[in-house]
Amino acid sequence: MYDVYGRRVDATAPPTAGCPVLDSGPLADIDPANNMPRTPNQAPCAGQRAPLSTARAVSTIPKAGVASTWTYPSPQMFFNALRRKGKGGDVVEGDVESVVAAHNGMNEATWARVLAWEAMHASTCPGGPRLTRFLGRPHDTSPLARLASFTGKPLPFDRHDWYVNRCGRDVRYVIDFYYDEAKAGTPGAFELRVRPALDTPGAALDRLKMGVYRAFHAAGLPCPLTGTAGGIAAAADGKGGGERAAG
């Protein structure tokens, strides 16, 4: 089993022949907006032992500024990215496709959580939000994750910031990724914590409202604001559909 960065988490394995981190060429042309190469690299990595697919899966995540959705990296692109970042040294070529599938599934789950939060703004953004860009920040611990660590919760193994366009308004979301070794091999092994960054008073209000939704949902009571028993809280916690949930 591997985490979303392709690092083996269920066992150790001898590393494969690594690819050097290039100081020039396409891999060095990194977009600071998302820490990814500006030009997709589909060429085999130096030392690669087997060919990898260059086919790219289409996500369900709508892309801001266009009428299409985001496209996921191919197994070859993902493998190259792991080597460029110095990660996944124990990932063998035969496992890359399953690792990519897990990575894509994690992104889809993240977007479903974002949609749950954005459902609170359905009346002002009936067309729904669109993802503008995303930024990996694995070395930056969020304040919430740091606070949780003081209570004994382990630090997340990764963090992303997702920038969402809410019908012309930019909103930043913070996502912490956790891994529970005790649940290895089960769907509950990975945990996501998704919430709007406290960049504006509106984001703070959204967090307060979600706390109310969660408290009433946990008690089996209808939402005090809408009077319905919809699924915003459940969807935000990954326990229900996030597609424009109500109540």
Which residues does 143 contact at the CB level (< 8 Å), separation at least 6?
none
pLDDT reported for residue 240: 58
- Contact between residue 28 and residue 50 where contact means Cβ atoms under 8 Å apart: no
Does 21 map to a domain? no
Cα–Cα distance measured from residue 56 to residue 34, given in angstroms and rounded to the nearest whole number: 18
pLDDT reported for residue 40: 72
Q: How many domains does the chain have?
A: 1
Q: Which residue has the tokens 């996944």?
A: 88
Task: Tokens for 113, please give them.
Answer: 């959580």
Does 188 map to a domain? yes
What's the domain range around 85? 26-236
Which DSSP symbol is given to 172? E
pTM of this prediction exceeds 0.75? yes
Convert the pLDDT of each residue in 200-227 to its tens digit. 999 999 999 999 888 888 888 877 666 6
Cα–Cα distance measured from residue 63 to residue 49, given in angstroms and rounded to the nearest whole number: 35
Question: Of residues 204 and 243, which shows the higher confidence score?
Answer: 204
- Contact between residue 59 and residue 86 where contact means Cβ atoms under 8 Å apart: no
Does 189 map to a domain? yes
Does 1 map to a domain? no
Does 195 map to a domain? yes
* pLDDT above 70 as % of the chain: 77
Four-residue CA torsion sign, 59, 167, 118, 78: positive
Candidates 124, 114, 24; CA nearest to 60 is 114
Does 10 map to a domain? no
Angle between helices 75-84 and 96-118 (to 10 degrees): 90
Residue 21 reports pLDDT greater than 60: no
Residue 234 reports pLDDT greater than 90: no
Candidates 41, 170, 190, 12; CA nearest to 110 is 190
Does 162 map to a domain? yes
- How many of the other CB atoms lie within 10 Å of CB of 101? 13
Convert the pLDDT of each residue in 154-182 to its tens digit. 999 899 999 999 999 999 999 999 988 88
pLDDT reported for residue 33: 54
Which residues does 217 contact at the CB level (< 8 Å), separation at least 6?
223, 229, 233, 234
Kindly report the average pLDDT of the chain as a whole number.
80
Cα–Cα distance measured from residue 156 to residue 245, given in angstroms and rounded to the nearest whole number: 27
Convert the pLDDT of each residue in 101-130 to its tens digit. 988 999 999 999 999 999 999 999 999 999
Does 7 map to a domain? no
